[in-house]
Amino acid sequence: MKRKSYQRKQKRSKRTRKALTLFVAFTSAIVVAFIALRVYVQVAGAPPLTVPKASIFLDENENHIGDHFTNERRYWVSLDEMSPYLKQAVVAVEDKDFYKHGGLDFSRIAGAVLVDIKAGGKVQGASTITQQYARNLYLSHEKSWTRKLNEALYAYRLEVFYDKDEILEGYLNTVYYGHGMYGVEAASRFYFGKSAKDLTLAEAAMLTGVPKGPSIYSPIVNLDKATNRQHVILKLMADQGAITQDEKTRAESEQLVLKSDSWVATKSVAPFFLDVAWQEASEILKSKNLDISEGGWTIQTTLNLEHQKAAEEAVAKHMPNDDLQTAFVSMKSNTGAVTALVGGRDYATSSFNRVTQAKRQPGSTIKPILYAAALENGYTPLTYLNVGETTFTYDKGRATYSPKNVNGKFANHDMSMAQAIAISDNIYAVKTLEEIGFKAFHEMANRFNVNIGTKDNLSIALGTTETTLYEMTNAYNILASQGQKTTPTTIVSIKNANGDTIYENKEVDKEAESVLSKENTYILTEMMTGIFDPVFSDYSPATGIGIRSRMTHTYAAKSGSTNSDQWLIGFTPSLTAGVWNGYDQGKNLTEREDTASTKQIWIDFMEAVNKGTKNEDFTKPKDVKGVVIDIESGKLATDACPKQRLVYMDEKDVPTEKCSNFDILDTDTWGNFWNMLPFSIFKN
């Protein structure tokens, strides 16, 4: 008996020792595991919190005009920039012990594990806010034990290196709220048309209910279900003491106004312009070794909303009901700031930007560049050339070229440069190129940053080398800037997600680089006002006569046309605008309404943006003199010569001879007459 008792005692002792050994081993394993986990976490370091953020665009007056997203629509805001109700609501419904646990809620995990074991699979979650944030940042939403283990590991790392408010802020900026909206700021703007900091208790509770099932609890998808979940959240908040019963009751009765329609309507402000601004900002940041795809940038642009509206309205009013396409851009002189841009008729149909991407033949809009070179090579506005029908021989006599004018007619008399530019005579342009030489024209085009090709072909005088409206309008903007170099830009400044200014566009020093002397710029500019003056009309009318009656300000401009393109680019001393019309596939322009729309769009815009402003005169340099000239002869005008015009030129080039030796109304004529008499009595 004693023997059996002894044996039982020995067995119990062995079991106790074995259990104790197992317990010590298990405890040691756990301790070692935790030590190893801690060492791993310390070695691995803080997990990155980088997530895609929206970059926002502002106009020149810092109004919000658009956004740009990489993959997700998201605006990152700090916890202080959110309504306090959001924080309370999220903690109440998602993780009431958030500020107590270390990233994992073991009581919730144990309950979820039992449910999963009974179901034979992963069916119930017990994720804390930290775990959900880890999943949003690093993992998929797959329901598996492997993903859950990784989720717990990331959650622990987050809790080690970041405080609770940082984690909560990150969660609220990454959670999905449906309709492509990530984070509370994007969701708040979408659903309620306001910033997250301005949300009421009722709105915050409604928004907090959406992530559980955006396709079910979105108030846009199902308002009843969204409202029921809102009430559940409000009750939890009251039960946990986050709000009072009175606050709960008031929130439940508040009528919410959804603003998603308004949000959608604001997405399409100047989309072609924003594409150009994004590309330019990308290049700027790249030059500073920064990647624009990081997001979170605040990009202030040069867009003037009034100018953009005027441009879009002009296009909508005058474009015919066919496939004709359009492009429009306006720039401030001096700075090159782009104030409006329309890259086509409908961005939704085609995002191809015909301002910056379409290369077309500029036609006669190239002629001011040619005549700028001519002015530097001895020409004056009163340089006369024979512009009758001409066949040119070039390439050492191996090739010929016989240009024609638009209407197929030719002048039967010599013509001045001032008149040739006004009626866009092609023979004058080609003869000018032939006389001044290709080198002078290429050199001038390079200074204006306009492409005219590399081949020495007489046809380049008529704009046969393709270029963009962006380039051509900037070339004219140089003239508007009194010959000083300008570069088109859409960017005022760029700030990063922390509000630090990364780039600021300083206005260009006006004396930094001169493209053309102020004297020649002014002379050329004044000649370009001639396209609106009927006094220059000859075998063909001055090219801007059709819109002269609508002009209330002084404009300098030049039109251009090819079989498939219509251009008009012009400027005041402060603003330059360019318009192009044509078909994307190079179809010829045959309908009158196709060829008429270009000028109407241009004058509509210029008159709209200058309405109510004082007329601006171009600044005349002191060495330039204005004289009234007889257009036909190029001599000083008298009343006997009917075709008169004020022409500006270098003082040394002013003619001294009059257009008529005898004018009955001219006092000098009578003075000369009396001087010829022999009797002194009559001389007085």
The residues that are catalytic are 94, 364
CA distance linking residue 572 with residue 318, whole number of Å:
22
The greatest distance separating any two alpha carbons of the chain, rounded to the nearest whole angstrom, comes to 178
Geometric angle at alpha carbon 64, from 61 and 68, rounded to 5°: 130
User: Terminus-to-terminus CA distance in the chain, angstroms?
Assistant: 171
Helix (H) / strand (E) element for 67: namely strand 64-68
Burial of 649 (0-12, 13-18, 19+ CB in 10 A): buried
Nearest C-alpha neighbor of 460 from the set 479, 478, 442: 442
Q: Check if the beta carbon of residue 504 is closer than 8 Å to that of residue 308.
A: no
Token pair 């969660």 is at which residue?
Answer: 171
Q: What are phi and psi of 67, to 5 degrees?
A: -135, 160
Nearest C-alpha neighbor of 474 from the set 510, 448, 443, 444: 448
CA distance linking residue 384 with residue 630, whole number of Å:
13
Three-state DSSP at 363 gives: helix
Q: Check if the beta carbon of residue 490 is closer than 8 Å to that of residue 276.
A: yes
> What CA–CA distances, in Å, run from 280 to 301, 452, 509, 555, 662?
10, 24, 21, 30, 63
Nearest C-alpha neighbor of 22 from the set 30, 11, 35: 30
Q: Check if the beta carbon of residue 558 is closer than 8 Å to that of residue 365.
A: yes
CA distance linking residue 433 with residue 463, whole number of Å:
12
Nearest C-alpha neighbor of 248 from the set 256, 258, 257, 237: 237
* Residues 173, 176, 181, 187, Cα dihedral to 10°: -60
Q: What DSSP string runs through 167-221?
A: HHHHHHHHSB-STTEESHHHHHHHHHSS-GGG--HHHHHHHHHGGG-HHHH-TTT
Q: Characterise 32 by phi-psi region: left (phi > 0), alpha (psi -120 to 50), beta (else).
A: alpha
Q: What DSSP string runs through 250-312?
A: HHHH------HHHHHHTTTSSHHHHHHHHHHHHHHHHHTT--GGG---EEEE---HHHHHHHH
Encoded amino acid at 103, one letter: G
Q: Check if the beta carbon of residue 74 is closer than 8 Å to that of residue 173.
A: yes
Please, which residues bridge with residue 58 across strands? Answer: 64, 300
Nearest C-alpha neighbor of 220 from the set 183, 173, 253, 263: 263
Residue 208 tokens read as: 């907090």
Q: Characterise 18 by phi-psi region: left (phi > 0), alpha (psi -120 to 50), beta (else).
A: alpha
Q: Are strands 575-582 and 565-571 parallel, antiparallel or unpaired?
A: antiparallel
Q: Check if the beta carbon of residue 100 is closer than 8 Å to that of residue 93.
A: no
Burial of 215 (0-12, 13-18, 19+ CB in 10 A): exposed
Geometric angle at alpha carbon 428, from 426 and 429, rounded to 5°: 65
CA distance linking residue 76 with residue 160, whole number of Å:
23
